Amino acid sequence: MRNIVYIDGQNFLYKASEILVKYSLITDKQDLYALDIRPMLEKLFPNEELEIRFFGVVKIKHRPDLGQEILNKSIRFSDNLRRVRSSLTKQNITYIEAGKLKIRDSDICKICGNKDYKYQEKGVDVGIAVSIVENALRDEVDRIILVSSDTDLIPAILCAKKAGKNVTYVGFSERLTRALVDECDVTQVLRDDEIVDAYKVANGY
């Protein structure tokens, strides 16, 4: 049986970092660079061969033209992404560039007149959905293991199930999405202590 794991990268790291902040292992959500993901998933699916794909963003361009703050953010994001990709490579996890971080501007401040710029992820969910549908219709996968709580992926899940594929939803214990639980064949839960242990192993505690 061919098992493919589809991880919504930024979404997964964001939720894992919330747990690590709660347990005082990191102080900022941007401080999560490495997590022992493969052993954690292999514990959920013992004696199974897993092809793990981590869907993330393309390399980030530095933007000095938008001011020092956004330049600092772009440098930090770029450095974080490099470290994350390095950690994934060591675990034999494929990094797939499925989306990008776009800069969007907020409203002009009524007090100082400045415009604030923020990064927003775009396209990763579409990349995951297309990959799931392609793999299912081409009969390249038997079990789809989805590590994402994005309900936008439900049409892709339904397409895969119609093609006769088993779909397993992996979610965080206190953050399960009911719609995905209802639509997927099986639900597996990642507990806080598993995230904590995966962080400690990856960072040499």
Summarize pLDDT for 48-67 with one digit per residue, the tens. 999 999 999 887 766 666 66
Interhelix angle 9-22/192-202, rounded to 10 degrees, is 100
Q: How confident is the model at residue 124 (pLDDT cuts 50, 70, 90)?
A: very high
Which two tokens mark 140? 């390249």
Give the separation between CA 157 and CA 134, rounded to whole angstroms: 12
Pairing verdict, β 166-172 and 186-190: parallel
3-state DSSP assignment of residue 169: strand
| One-letter amino acid of 41 | L
- For the chain, give the percent of residues with pLDDT over 90: 69
What are 190's two structure tokens? 């990642």
Band of the pLDDT at 145, cuts 50, 70, 90?
A: very high
Superfamily name and number for 3-202: 5'-nuclease (3.40.50.1010)
List the chain domain ranges. Answer: 3-202
Predicted confidence at residue 80, as pLDDT, reads 87
- Asked if pLDDT for residue 104 goes beyond 70, the answer is no
Mean pLDDT along residues 20-37: 92
Which residues 6+ apart lie within 8 Å of 114 measured at CB? 108
What is the mean pLDDT of the segment spanning 62-78? 70
Higher pLDDT pick, 11 / 65: 11
pTM: 0.88
Q: Summarize the confidence of residues 11-33 as an average pLDDT.
A: 92
- State residue 6's pLDDT score: 98
Q: State residue 75's pLDDT score.
A: 78
Identify the pLDDT of residue 159.
98
Q: What share of the chain is helix, strand, coil (3-state, %, to 5)?
A: 45, 25, 30
Residue 39 CA to residue 199 CA, distance in Å, equals 11
